[in-house]
Amino acid sequence: MLHRKLRLSRRAFTATALSALVAGGGAMAAGAAMADGSNPGRRRMTREMRGVWVATVANRDWPSKPGLTADEQRAELIAHLDRAAKCGLNTVILQVRPTADALWPSPCEPWSQILTGTQGKDPGWDPLGTAVEEAHARGLQLHAWFNPYRIANHTDPTRLAESHPARKHPEWVVTYGGKLYYNPGLPEVRAFVQRAMLDAVHKYPVDAVHFDDYFYPYPVAGQAFDDNAAYDRYGGGFASLADWRRDNIDRLILETAAGIRRIRPTTQFGISPFGVWRNAATDPLGSDSRAGVQTYDDLYADTRRWVREGWIDYICPQLYWNVGFAAADYGKLLPWWAETVRGSRTRLYVGEALYKAGDPAQPEAWQDPAELSRHLTLAKQHPEVYGHVHFAAKDLAADRIGAMAQVVADHYGQPAMTPR
Protein backbone atom coordinates (compact mmCIF):
# COMPACT_ATOMS: atom_id res chain seq x y z
CA MET A 1 0.00 0.00 0.00
CA LEU A 2 1.38 3.38 -0.98
CA HIS A 3 0.58 6.53 0.92
CA ARG A 4 1.70 10.11 0.36
CA LYS A 5 2.18 11.79 3.73
CA LEU A 6 0.55 15.11 4.28
CA ARG A 7 3.40 17.44 5.14
CA LEU A 8 1.78 19.37 7.90
CA SER A 9 2.80 19.46 11.54
CA ARG A 10 0.24 18.40 14.10
CA ARG A 11 0.07 21.99 15.26
CA ALA A 12 -0.84 23.21 11.81
CA PHE A 13 -3.29 20.43 11.11
CA THR A 14 -6.63 22.17 11.63
CA ALA A 15 -10.22 21.29 10.94
CA THR A 16 -10.00 23.53 7.87
CA ALA A 17 -7.16 21.43 6.51
CA LEU A 18 -9.13 18.28 7.18
CA SER A 19 -12.10 19.65 5.28
CA ALA A 20 -9.89 20.58 2.36
CA LEU A 21 -8.73 16.99 2.05
CA VAL A 22 -12.24 15.85 1.29
CA ALA A 23 -13.62 18.85 -0.54
CA GLY A 24 -16.21 17.72 -2.99
CA GLY A 25 -18.24 15.44 -0.74
CA GLY A 26 -16.10 12.74 0.81
CA ALA A 27 -13.02 10.58 0.58
CA MET A 28 -14.24 8.44 -2.30
CA ALA A 29 -15.66 11.26 -4.37
CA ALA A 30 -12.57 13.42 -3.88
CA GLY A 31 -10.38 11.13 -5.92
CA ALA A 32 -12.72 9.44 -8.36
CA ALA A 33 -10.79 10.72 -11.35
CA MET A 34 -7.61 9.07 -10.10
CA ALA A 35 -9.40 5.82 -9.35
CA ASP A 36 -10.17 5.15 -13.02
CA GLY A 37 -6.83 6.44 -14.28
CA SER A 38 -8.42 9.34 -16.16
CA ASN A 39 -6.21 11.97 -14.58
CA PRO A 40 -2.81 11.57 -16.28
CA GLY A 41 0.27 12.25 -14.22
CA ARG A 42 -1.43 11.56 -10.90
CA ARG A 43 -1.09 8.46 -8.74
CA ARG A 44 -3.86 5.88 -8.87
CA MET A 45 -6.19 5.94 -5.93
CA THR A 46 -5.03 4.11 -2.82
CA ARG A 47 -7.35 1.33 -1.71
CA GLU A 48 -7.49 0.69 2.00
CA MET A 49 -10.02 0.42 4.78
CA ARG A 50 -10.28 3.58 6.86
CA GLY A 51 -13.17 2.95 9.18
CA VAL A 52 -14.80 3.95 12.44
CA TRP A 53 -17.25 2.09 14.62
CA VAL A 54 -20.40 3.86 15.81
CA ALA A 55 -21.57 1.96 18.90
CA THR A 56 -25.20 2.40 19.91
CA VAL A 57 -25.44 -0.07 22.82
CA ALA A 58 -26.14 1.89 26.03
CA ASN A 59 -25.96 5.05 23.86
CA ARG A 60 -22.17 4.73 23.82
CA ASP A 61 -21.58 6.85 20.69
CA TRP A 62 -25.02 7.58 19.25
CA PRO A 63 -27.63 8.80 19.97
CA SER A 64 -26.02 10.81 22.77
CA LYS A 65 -28.98 9.90 24.97
CA PRO A 66 -32.36 8.21 24.53
CA GLY A 67 -35.44 10.32 23.95
CA LEU A 68 -34.06 12.90 21.54
CA THR A 69 -36.40 14.00 18.79
CA ALA A 70 -36.12 12.39 15.39
CA ASP A 71 -34.52 15.56 14.01
CA GLU A 72 -31.98 15.65 16.84
CA GLN A 73 -31.08 11.98 16.36
CA ARG A 74 -30.71 12.48 12.62
CA ALA A 75 -28.52 15.55 13.09
CA GLU A 76 -26.20 13.70 15.47
CA LEU A 77 -25.91 10.76 13.09
CA ILE A 78 -25.10 13.00 10.14
CA ALA A 79 -22.49 14.81 12.24
CA HIS A 80 -20.73 11.45 12.78
CA LEU A 81 -20.82 10.78 9.04
CA ASP A 82 -19.50 14.24 8.21
CA ARG A 83 -16.68 13.89 10.72
CA ALA A 84 -15.66 10.54 9.27
CA ALA A 85 -15.50 12.02 5.78
CA LYS A 86 -13.53 15.06 6.95
CA CYS A 87 -10.96 12.79 8.61
CA GLY A 88 -10.36 10.97 5.33
CA LEU A 89 -12.21 7.83 6.39
CA ASN A 90 -14.24 5.81 3.92
CA THR A 91 -16.32 3.43 6.07
CA VAL A 92 -18.70 3.71 9.00
CA ILE A 93 -19.65 0.56 10.92
CA LEU A 94 -22.98 1.32 12.58
CA GLN A 95 -24.37 -0.90 15.33
CA VAL A 96 -27.97 -1.55 14.26
CA ARG A 97 -28.95 -4.52 16.46
CA PRO A 98 -27.35 -3.83 19.84
CA THR A 99 -29.52 -5.99 22.15
CA ALA A 100 -31.81 -8.20 20.07
CA ASP A 101 -33.71 -5.11 18.92
CA ALA A 102 -33.57 -2.99 15.80
CA LEU A 103 -32.65 0.42 14.41
CA TRP A 104 -34.96 -0.13 11.44
CA PRO A 105 -38.62 -1.17 11.15
CA SER A 106 -38.15 -4.88 11.70
CA PRO A 107 -40.92 -7.49 11.47
CA CYS A 108 -38.89 -9.71 13.81
CA GLU A 109 -37.80 -7.52 16.73
CA PRO A 110 -38.84 -4.33 18.53
CA TRP A 111 -37.43 -0.88 18.01
CA SER A 112 -34.33 -0.34 20.14
CA GLN A 113 -34.76 1.50 23.42
CA ILE A 114 -31.59 3.52 22.72
CA LEU A 115 -33.72 5.69 20.42
CA THR A 116 -36.75 6.65 22.50
CA GLY A 117 -35.92 5.20 25.91
CA THR A 118 -38.74 2.66 25.51
CA GLN A 119 -38.07 -0.59 23.69
CA GLY A 120 -40.63 -1.11 20.95
CA LYS A 121 -41.59 2.56 20.57
CA ASP A 122 -41.44 3.87 16.99
CA PRO A 123 -38.89 6.72 16.82
CA GLY A 124 -40.67 8.32 13.87
CA TRP A 125 -37.91 7.75 11.33
CA ASP A 126 -35.71 5.01 9.86
CA PRO A 127 -32.16 5.30 11.27
CA LEU A 128 -30.59 2.50 9.22
CA GLY A 129 -32.22 3.60 5.98
CA THR A 130 -31.09 7.18 6.59
CA ALA A 131 -27.57 6.05 7.54
CA VAL A 132 -27.15 4.07 4.31
CA GLU A 133 -28.43 6.92 2.15
CA GLU A 134 -26.44 9.66 3.87
CA ALA A 135 -23.24 7.61 4.09
CA HIS A 136 -23.33 6.80 0.39
CA ALA A 137 -24.00 10.46 -0.42
CA ARG A 138 -20.68 11.26 1.31
CA GLY A 139 -18.70 8.53 -0.43
CA LEU A 140 -18.72 6.37 2.69
CA GLN A 141 -19.51 2.68 2.92
CA LEU A 142 -22.04 1.70 5.57
CA HIS A 143 -21.44 -1.62 7.31
CA ALA A 144 -24.37 -2.81 9.41
CA TRP A 145 -23.13 -4.15 12.75
CA PHE A 146 -25.17 -6.85 14.48
CA ASN A 147 -24.84 -8.67 17.82
CA PRO A 148 -26.29 -12.15 17.25
CA TYR A 149 -27.05 -13.42 20.75
CA ARG A 150 -27.09 -10.60 23.32
CA ILE A 151 -30.63 -9.84 24.52
CA ALA A 152 -30.19 -7.42 27.41
CA ASN A 153 -27.61 -6.00 29.79
CA HIS A 154 -29.82 -6.99 32.71
CA THR A 155 -31.60 -10.17 33.84
CA ASP A 156 -35.26 -9.10 34.01
CA PRO A 157 -37.31 -10.34 31.03
CA THR A 158 -40.26 -8.17 32.10
CA ARG A 159 -38.21 -5.09 31.21
CA LEU A 160 -38.22 -6.20 27.56
CA ALA A 161 -40.95 -5.03 25.20
CA GLU A 162 -44.06 -7.16 25.52
CA SER A 163 -43.67 -8.25 21.89
CA HIS A 164 -40.02 -9.26 22.33
CA PRO A 165 -39.28 -12.77 21.02
CA ALA A 166 -37.35 -13.52 24.22
CA ARG A 167 -40.55 -13.09 26.21
CA LYS A 168 -42.50 -15.25 23.80
CA HIS A 169 -39.80 -17.94 23.88
CA PRO A 170 -38.30 -18.01 27.38
CA GLU A 171 -36.87 -21.44 26.57
CA TRP A 172 -34.47 -19.68 24.18
CA VAL A 173 -32.94 -17.55 26.93
CA VAL A 174 -29.93 -18.11 29.19
CA THR A 175 -29.15 -15.81 32.12
CA TYR A 176 -25.42 -15.39 32.62
CA GLY A 177 -23.12 -12.82 34.15
CA GLY A 178 -25.94 -10.42 34.93
CA LYS A 179 -27.22 -10.41 31.34
CA LEU A 180 -29.67 -12.24 29.09
CA TYR A 181 -28.53 -14.18 26.01
CA TYR A 182 -30.10 -16.31 23.34
CA ASN A 183 -28.81 -19.89 23.52
CA PRO A 184 -26.54 -20.47 20.49
CA GLY A 185 -27.02 -24.24 20.83
CA LEU A 186 -30.67 -24.18 19.74
CA PRO A 187 -31.22 -24.53 15.98
CA GLU A 188 -34.43 -22.49 16.23
CA VAL A 189 -32.47 -19.63 17.83
CA ARG A 190 -29.85 -19.73 15.10
CA ALA A 191 -32.57 -19.63 12.43
CA PHE A 192 -34.36 -16.77 14.16
CA VAL A 193 -31.35 -14.48 14.66
CA GLN A 194 -30.35 -14.97 11.04
CA ARG A 195 -33.85 -14.10 9.86
CA ALA A 196 -33.85 -11.00 12.06
CA MET A 197 -30.47 -9.78 10.82
CA LEU A 198 -30.95 -10.65 7.17
CA ASP A 199 -34.16 -8.62 7.07
CA ALA A 200 -31.91 -5.54 7.03
CA VAL A 201 -29.92 -6.96 4.11
CA HIS A 202 -33.18 -7.51 2.22
CA LYS A 203 -34.31 -3.93 2.78
CA TYR A 204 -31.14 -1.85 2.45
CA PRO A 205 -28.06 -1.82 0.21
CA VAL A 206 -25.66 -2.16 3.14
CA ASP A 207 -22.06 -2.64 2.06
CA ALA A 208 -21.35 -5.29 4.68
CA VAL A 209 -22.80 -7.31 7.51
CA HIS A 210 -20.50 -6.97 10.51
CA PHE A 211 -20.21 -9.02 13.72
CA ASP A 212 -17.96 -8.07 16.61
CA ASP A 213 -16.48 -10.32 19.33
CA TYR A 214 -19.64 -11.48 21.11
CA PHE A 215 -20.52 -15.09 20.34
CA TYR A 216 -20.73 -17.16 23.49
CA PRO A 217 -20.32 -14.59 26.26
CA TYR A 218 -17.01 -13.72 27.84
CA PRO A 219 -16.39 -16.03 30.81
CA VAL A 220 -17.43 -14.91 34.27
CA ALA A 221 -15.48 -16.46 37.15
CA GLY A 222 -17.51 -18.95 39.16
CA GLN A 223 -20.43 -19.07 36.72
CA ALA A 224 -21.42 -21.59 34.07
CA PHE A 225 -23.38 -20.87 30.91
CA ASP A 226 -26.34 -23.20 31.34
CA ASP A 227 -26.80 -24.94 28.01
CA ASN A 228 -26.68 -28.50 29.35
CA ALA A 229 -30.17 -29.39 28.13
CA ALA A 230 -29.37 -28.22 24.61
CA TYR A 231 -26.09 -30.13 24.66
CA ASP A 232 -27.87 -33.29 25.81
CA ARG A 233 -30.34 -32.91 22.96
CA TYR A 234 -28.06 -31.80 20.11
CA GLY A 235 -24.49 -32.56 21.19
CA GLY A 236 -24.36 -36.22 20.24
CA GLY A 237 -21.30 -37.07 18.19
CA PHE A 238 -19.12 -34.30 19.63
CA ALA A 239 -16.17 -35.16 21.81
CA SER A 240 -16.80 -32.31 24.22
CA LEU A 241 -19.10 -29.46 25.12
CA ALA A 242 -16.48 -27.04 23.76
CA ASP A 243 -16.39 -28.76 20.35
CA TRP A 244 -20.19 -28.63 20.14
CA ARG A 245 -20.26 -24.95 21.05
CA ARG A 246 -17.66 -24.15 18.38
CA ASP A 247 -19.72 -26.05 15.84
CA ASN A 248 -22.77 -23.97 16.76
CA ILE A 249 -20.86 -20.77 16.02
CA ASP A 250 -19.33 -22.23 12.85
CA ARG A 251 -22.84 -22.97 11.62
CA LEU A 252 -23.96 -19.42 12.37
CA ILE A 253 -21.07 -18.04 10.31
CA LEU A 254 -21.54 -20.39 7.36
CA GLU A 255 -25.31 -19.96 7.24
CA THR A 256 -25.17 -16.18 7.59
CA ALA A 257 -22.59 -15.97 4.80
CA ALA A 258 -24.81 -18.08 2.54
CA GLY A 259 -27.84 -15.94 3.38
CA ILE A 260 -26.03 -12.72 2.51
CA ARG A 261 -24.85 -14.15 -0.82
CA ARG A 262 -28.38 -15.28 -1.64
CA ILE A 263 -30.02 -11.95 -0.82
CA ARG A 264 -27.43 -9.38 -1.87
CA PRO A 265 -24.31 -10.91 -3.45
CA THR A 266 -22.33 -7.65 -3.42
CA THR A 267 -22.65 -7.25 0.35
CA GLN A 268 -19.58 -8.38 2.29
CA PHE A 269 -19.46 -10.32 5.54
CA GLY A 270 -16.88 -9.24 8.11
CA ILE A 271 -16.06 -10.09 11.71
CA SER A 272 -14.12 -8.16 14.35
CA PRO A 273 -13.05 -10.68 16.99
CA PHE A 274 -11.05 -10.32 20.17
CA GLY A 275 -7.44 -10.03 19.04
CA VAL A 276 -6.09 -13.36 20.34
CA TRP A 277 -7.22 -16.62 18.73
CA ARG A 278 -5.05 -18.81 21.02
CA ASN A 279 -1.81 -18.25 22.89
CA ALA A 280 1.21 -20.19 21.67
CA ALA A 281 1.46 -21.85 25.08
CA THR A 282 -1.95 -23.40 24.39
CA ASP A 283 -1.46 -24.18 20.70
CA PRO A 284 1.76 -24.00 18.62
CA LEU A 285 -0.29 -22.30 15.89
CA GLY A 286 -1.20 -19.52 18.31
CA SER A 287 0.32 -16.09 18.80
CA ASP A 288 3.20 -15.00 21.02
CA SER A 289 0.84 -13.70 23.68
CA ARG A 290 -0.33 -14.45 27.20
CA ALA A 291 -3.88 -13.15 26.98
CA GLY A 292 -6.36 -14.19 29.64
CA VAL A 293 -9.04 -14.74 26.99
CA GLN A 294 -8.67 -16.88 23.87
CA THR A 295 -11.49 -16.75 21.36
CA TYR A 296 -11.19 -20.43 20.45
CA ASP A 297 -11.39 -21.65 24.05
CA ASP A 298 -13.49 -19.01 25.81
CA LEU A 299 -15.87 -17.56 23.20
CA TYR A 300 -15.97 -20.76 21.10
CA ALA A 301 -15.18 -18.76 17.97
CA ASP A 302 -12.62 -20.44 15.71
CA THR A 303 -11.68 -17.24 13.95
CA ARG A 304 -8.54 -18.69 12.40
CA ARG A 305 -10.57 -21.41 10.71
CA TRP A 306 -13.04 -18.90 9.29
CA VAL A 307 -10.14 -17.05 7.69
CA ARG A 308 -8.23 -20.06 6.41
CA GLU A 309 -11.33 -21.67 4.90
CA GLY A 310 -12.56 -18.43 3.34
CA TRP A 311 -15.90 -18.30 5.12
CA ILE A 312 -15.78 -14.52 5.59
CA ASP A 313 -14.76 -11.61 3.38
CA TYR A 314 -12.79 -9.71 5.98
CA ILE A 315 -11.53 -10.04 9.52
CA CYS A 316 -10.77 -7.08 11.75
CA PRO A 317 -9.16 -8.33 14.97
CA GLN A 318 -9.36 -5.93 17.88
CA LEU A 319 -5.66 -5.33 18.53
CA TYR A 320 -6.42 -2.97 21.38
CA TRP A 321 -2.98 -3.08 22.98
CA ASN A 322 0.07 -0.88 22.68
CA VAL A 323 3.37 -1.86 21.13
CA GLY A 324 5.37 -3.62 23.82
CA PHE A 325 2.43 -4.60 26.04
CA ALA A 326 3.67 -7.77 27.72
CA ALA A 327 0.59 -10.01 27.58
CA ALA A 328 -0.55 -8.98 24.11
CA ASP A 329 1.99 -6.94 22.14
CA TYR A 330 0.57 -5.14 19.11
CA GLY A 331 3.94 -5.58 17.43
CA LYS A 332 3.73 -9.38 17.77
CA LEU A 333 0.02 -9.89 17.14
CA LEU A 334 0.04 -7.89 13.91
CA PRO A 335 2.44 -10.25 12.07
CA TRP A 336 0.58 -13.28 13.45
CA TRP A 337 -2.63 -12.08 11.86
CA ALA A 338 -0.82 -11.17 8.64
CA GLU A 339 0.52 -14.73 8.47
CA THR A 340 -2.94 -16.13 9.25
CA VAL A 341 -4.64 -14.41 6.30
CA ARG A 342 -1.76 -15.00 3.87
CA GLY A 343 -2.96 -17.10 0.95
CA SER A 344 -6.62 -16.88 1.97
CA ARG A 345 -9.44 -14.94 0.34
CA THR A 346 -10.09 -13.02 3.57
CA ARG A 347 -8.98 -9.39 3.84
CA LEU A 348 -7.23 -8.27 7.01
CA TYR A 349 -8.16 -4.95 8.60
CA VAL A 350 -6.91 -4.03 12.07
CA GLY A 351 -9.11 -2.77 14.89
CA GLU A 352 -7.45 0.17 16.66
CA ALA A 353 -8.06 1.39 20.23
CA LEU A 354 -8.58 5.09 19.65
CA TYR A 355 -10.63 5.12 22.86
CA LYS A 356 -7.49 4.42 24.91
CA ALA A 357 -5.53 7.40 23.60
CA GLY A 358 -5.26 9.98 26.36
CA ASP A 359 -7.29 7.96 28.85
CA PRO A 360 -5.46 8.41 32.18
CA ALA A 361 -6.52 4.92 33.26
CA GLN A 362 -4.50 3.37 30.42
CA PRO A 363 -0.76 2.54 30.38
CA GLU A 364 1.80 5.25 29.71
CA ALA A 365 2.10 4.31 26.04
CA TRP A 366 -1.46 5.55 25.47
CA GLN A 367 -0.58 9.02 26.76
CA ASP A 368 1.66 9.48 23.70
CA PRO A 369 -0.27 10.94 20.74
CA ALA A 370 2.04 9.05 18.37
CA GLU A 371 1.16 5.53 19.60
CA LEU A 372 -1.71 5.00 17.15
CA SER A 373 0.24 6.44 14.24
CA ARG A 374 3.05 3.98 15.00
CA HIS A 375 0.53 1.15 14.63
CA LEU A 376 -0.31 2.22 11.09
CA THR A 377 3.37 2.61 10.28
CA LEU A 378 4.06 -0.94 11.48
CA ALA A 379 1.17 -2.25 9.40
CA LYS A 380 2.80 -0.93 6.22
CA GLN A 381 5.46 -3.60 6.66
CA HIS A 382 2.79 -6.26 6.09
CA PRO A 383 1.13 -6.20 2.65
CA GLU A 384 -1.62 -8.44 4.00
CA VAL A 385 -2.99 -5.51 6.03
CA TYR A 386 -5.59 -3.63 3.99
CA GLY A 387 -6.44 -0.92 6.49
CA HIS A 388 -7.71 -0.07 9.95
CA VAL A 389 -10.94 0.58 11.86
CA HIS A 390 -10.97 2.92 14.86
CA PHE A 391 -13.01 2.47 18.03
CA ALA A 392 -15.03 4.57 18.23
CA ALA A 393 -17.03 7.58 16.99
CA LYS A 394 -17.28 9.44 20.30
CA ASP A 395 -13.50 9.26 20.63
CA LEU A 396 -13.02 10.43 17.06
CA ALA A 397 -15.00 13.53 17.99
CA ALA A 398 -13.15 14.15 21.27
CA ASP A 399 -9.63 13.19 20.12
CA ARG A 400 -8.39 13.95 23.64
CA ILE A 401 -4.66 14.23 22.91
CA GLY A 402 -4.68 14.62 19.14
CA ALA A 403 -3.85 10.97 18.41
CA MET A 404 -6.35 10.76 15.55
CA ALA A 405 -5.23 14.11 14.16
CA GLN A 406 -1.72 12.66 13.98
CA VAL A 407 -2.99 9.52 12.24
CA VAL A 408 -4.74 11.69 9.68
CA ALA A 409 -1.67 13.88 9.16
CA ASP A 410 0.73 10.96 8.90
CA HIS A 411 -1.36 8.44 6.97
CA TYR A 412 -4.60 9.84 5.54
CA GLY A 413 -3.28 12.76 3.56
CA GLN A 414 -4.61 11.35 0.29
CA PRO A 415 -8.13 9.98 -0.19
CA ALA A 416 -8.57 6.21 -0.35
CA MET A 417 -11.22 3.92 -1.71
CA THR A 418 -12.21 0.77 0.13
CA PRO A 419 -10.55 -2.47 -1.01
CA ARG A 420 -12.37 -4.38 -3.71
For 26-56, how does the pLDDT look when each residue is reduced to its tens digit (9 = 90+)? 333 333 333 333 343 344 679 999 999 999 9
Give CB contacts under 8 A, 24+ apart, made by 67-76.
Answer: 67/116, 67/117, 70/123, 70/124, 70/125, 73/115, 73/123, 73/125, 73/127, 74/125, 74/127, 74/130
Confirm whether 5 is domain-assigned: no
- For 262-313, how does the pLDDT look when each residue is reduced to its tens digit (9 = 90+)? 999 999 999 999 999 999 999 999 999 999 999 999 999 999 999 999 999 9
What's the pLDDT score for residue 302?
A: 98
207: left (phi over 0), alpha (psi -120 to 50) or beta: alpha
Provide the 3-class DSSP secondary structure of residue 386.
Answer: strand
What's the pLDDT score for residue 30?
A: 33
Give yes or no for a contact between 160 and 151, defined as CB atoms under 8 angstroms apart.
Answer: yes
Give yes or no for a contact between 278 and 288, defined as CB atoms under 8 angstroms apart.
Answer: no
Confirm whether 8 is domain-assigned: no
395 closest CA partner among 60, 18, 48: 60
209 closest CA partner among 273, 302, 146: 146
Q: Is the pLDDT of residue 15 over 90?
A: no
How many Cβ atoms from other residues are within 10 Å of residue 175's Cβ?
A: 17
What's the pLDDT score for residue 13?
A: 31
What's the pLDDT score for residue 5?
A: 29
- For 126-173, how does the pLDDT look when each residue is reduced to its tens digit (9 = 90+)? 999 999 999 999 999 999 999 999 999 999 999 999 999 999 999 999
What's the pLDDT score for residue 420?
A: 83
Q: 383 pLDDT band (50/70/90 cuts)? A: very high
- For 107-118, how does the pLDDT look when each residue is reduced to its tens digit (9 = 90+)? 999 999 999 999
Separation between Cα atoms, residue 314 and residue 389, nearest integer Å: 12
Confirm whether 4 is domain-assigned: no
What's the pLDDT score for residue 14?
A: 33
Provide the 3-class DSSP secondary structure of residue 49.
Answer: strand
> Judging by beta carbons within 10 Å of its beta carbon (0-12, 13-18, 19+), is residue 347 exposed, middle or buried?
buried
**DSSP of 339-364:** HHHTTSS-EEEEEE-GGGTT-TTS-G
Separation between Cα atoms, residue 144 and residue 106, nearest integer Å: 14
In the chain, pLDDT over 70 holds for what percent of residues? 90
* DSSP H or E stretch at residue 46: strand 46-47
* DSSP H or E stretch at residue 51: strand 49-54
Confirm whether 310 is domain-assigned: yes
CATH number of the domain that residue 361 is part of: 3.20.20.80
What's the pLDDT score for residue 44?
A: 63
Q: Is the pLDDT of residue 393 over 60?
A: yes
Confirm whether 402 is domain-assigned: yes
Q: Is the pLDDT of residue 12 over 90?
A: no
Confirm whether 48 is domain-assigned: yes
- For 326-379, how does the pLDDT look when each residue is reduced to its tens digit (9 = 90+)? 999 999 999 999 999 999 999 999 999 999 999 999 999 999 999 999 999 999
Contacts of 304 (CB under 8 A, 6+ apart): 277, 278, 285, 296, 340
As for how many domains the chain has, the answer is 1
Provide the 3-class DSSP secondary structure of residue 142.
Answer: strand
Separation between Cα atoms, residue 291 and residue 362, nearest integer Å: 17
Confirm whether 363 is domain-assigned: yes
- For 195-235, how does the pLDDT look when each residue is reduced to its tens digit (9 = 90+)? 999 999 999 999 999 999 999 999 999 999 999 999 999 99
Confirm whether 302 is domain-assigned: yes
Tell me what the pLDDT averaged over the chain comes to.
91
SS (H, E, C) 92-111: EEEEEECCCCECCCCCCCCE
What range defines the domain where residue 406 resides?
15-417
